Structures are given as C-alpha cells and as structure tokens.
A = this chain, B = another copy of it.
Amino acid sequence: MLVACTAYQDGRTLGEIALDRIAEYLRLPNCFVWLALKDPAATELEELQRVFDLHPLAVEDAQTGHQRPKIDEYGESLFAVLHIVEPGEAGLQVGEMALFCGRNYVISVRSRAEKGFSEVRMRGEREPELLRQGPGYVLYALIDAVVDRYFPILDTLEDDLDGIERRIFAPEGVPRENIEALYGLKQRLMVMKHAVAPLLEGVSNLSGARVPILCAGIAVYFRDVYDHLLRLNQAVDSIRDTIATAISVNLSMVTLAENENMKRLAAYAALLAVPTMIAGIYGMNFEHMPELKWRYGYAASLLVMAALDVYLYLRFKRVKWL
C-alpha cells in the first residue's frame, strides 16, 4: 500500500505527487522523490523494481521479510533492512523497514509495524540545509527514527529487570515467578540484540573511512546514529550479563530459602519429638516406676515437657532457626 509519495528539490518539499508523474520529477535537477509503502503487495514492488531499476536480490529481501538488519551496497545505490520493534501483547513485535536509496529516490517499505514515520517527513521540513544533501539525508533520518524507537523499549526492559531484582531479594518474592520473568526478559532482550547488533557494522560503514557517495555530506550524522547503536548495544549486553547473574543469584536464594525452611522444620520437629519421647518413657509398663505412683507425677511430666520445649524454642530463636 502506498502511504505517501513526495518530491524534494534543493532542500524544499515540492509536495505530494501522483505515481505516474514520478518519471517527470526524476528528470529535474537536484530533485528526488521519496516513496513510502506499507506492507506492499508483490506487484507494487515489481512495478517499483522496473521503474527504479532496483536489484532483484534487494527486492526479494524486501518481499520475503525476516531478514537480519543490514546495509548493502548495490553499485552506487544502497539497500537497508532494519527491524522495527514494537511492544506487543505477548512480548515484542518485530516488523521491518526496507530502504532502497539511489541517486534521486528513496523508497521506504514498512512491514508488520503499526506506527508510521510521519515525524521524519516533518523533520525534513525543519532542516532544509540537511535535506539539500539529498536521498542520503532521508535515509539517515529514517534509520535515526527507527533506532530512536529502540530506546524506550530498552528502558522498559531495564525497568522490568529492576523490578525482578527487587523481588529476588524481597522476603515475599516468589522465586518461580522470578525465574519465568527473567527468562521472558532474556527472550525480549534477544529480540533487541538481533535488531541492534547487526546494524552496528552496517551503519559503521556509512560513517567510517570509505563512505558511499550517497552519504558523503552527512557522515557525522551517521556517526551519531552509530553512537546511539553502540549505546544500545552496550545496554543490551549489560542487561544480558545482569540477567545471567540474576538467574544464578536467584538459584542461590532458592537454595538458601530451602536451607532456612529445613532449619525451621527441624526446630518444630524437635518441639514435637521431645515430648513424644518423654511420653513414651512414661508409657512403659514396668511394675516399679516410682514416678507413676506420685500424686503430681503427671503434672510434673507435663511441666518437664513444656519446660524443655520452651527452652528449645528460645534456643532456636537465638540461633535464628525460628
């Protein structure tokens, strides 16, 4: 589905244009068009492949989807794939943004993603001096927008991790839930890792020593994106490391809790076993057991039982078994 088709010249927006007038605009000097598509049909992509002479492998990637993020050069044109990560009902939803960028065109293909990128269009109008750099700037602005949306998602993951950490050390925490939460968090983190890590290399190529001609004027801007990706990647690795530690710490806490329960149980068992033993002794049927005849024998035996239990109880309290 075509979302928008806009023409730009010398940093100015010429406005929305009809699809059949694209060829006309492509002939203008310093002019380029930006086509934005959403979940396009196969025929739409084939039509664009014909018009813009896109490389068949790139088109195939855009159509198939489920690619690794990457930025490939086909001669002088660029083809980029990015993951659009959106919070869904069950974990994170991963859509894709495929970007074709040539001398006088940018084609952005958004798939399986809810939210559009109209803010990029508006940003272009606010920064005419950069927009003048041509399609490379639009490429940059779109990648920047996709990457910027990773930050709030990672923040959520960090918050979730903080929450789990608190519950691990809280006395009322439920270890079973903590483990499940950590495991789920790890899986959401992997989604972020797969979105961020492969992109690092691609974007680094756009800001490094051998910059493609399309991005020549704005290499420091790509370095800025690269910087954001480094920051995201570091955060992902850091959370991942913390999750691993948290899992093993949680296991320690479980073993500890087991240990403490065992001690508490043993203490209560002792409180029952001691009177049982004494009662057993006075339950013996020997003929000559003087205490049995004593008037206060029964009361005394109960007192002894109670006294021993109170003594044990206090001792257990002191060594923190109860």
Contact = CB atoms under 8 A, between A and B. Distances in A.
Interface stretch (A32-40, A86-94, A100-108, A282-290): A282-290
Interface in A176-199: 176, 179-180, 182-183, 186-187, 190, 193-194, 198
Given A179-B252, A283-B283, A298-B289, A224 B57 contact: yes
Interface stretch (A17-25, A111-119, A253-261): A253-261
A223 interface: yes
Interface string A251-294: 11111111101110110111011111101111111111101111
Interface residues of A, number: 84
Interface stretch (A2-10, A44-52, A131-139, A239-247): A239-247
A246 B247 CA distance: 10
A302 to B, nearest CB: 7
A contact face: mostly helix, strand, loop, or mixed: helix
Contact of A270 (B220, B253, B268, B286): B268
Contact of A259 (B241, B254, B272): B254
Given A198-B234, A276-B280, A286-B301, A256 B292 contact: no
A248 B269 CA distance: 31
Contacts of A55: 220
B176 A253 contact: yes
Nearest to A321: B261
A175 B254 CA distance: 12
Contacts of A301: 284, 286
Interface in A207-225: 220-221, 223-224
Nearest to A274: B272
A169 interface: yes
B249 A183 contact: yes
A286 B57 CA distance: 93
Interface of A: 55, 57, 67-68, 70, 72, 74, 165, 169, 175-176, 179-180, 182-183, 186-187, 190, 193-194, 198, 220-221, 223-224, 227, 230-231, 234, 238, 241-242, 244-259, 261-263, 265-266, 268-270, 272-277, 279-289, 291-298, 301-302, 305
Given A179-B252, A248-B251, 6 more contacts: A247-B248, A248-B248, A265-B266, A270-B272, A277-B279, A284-B301
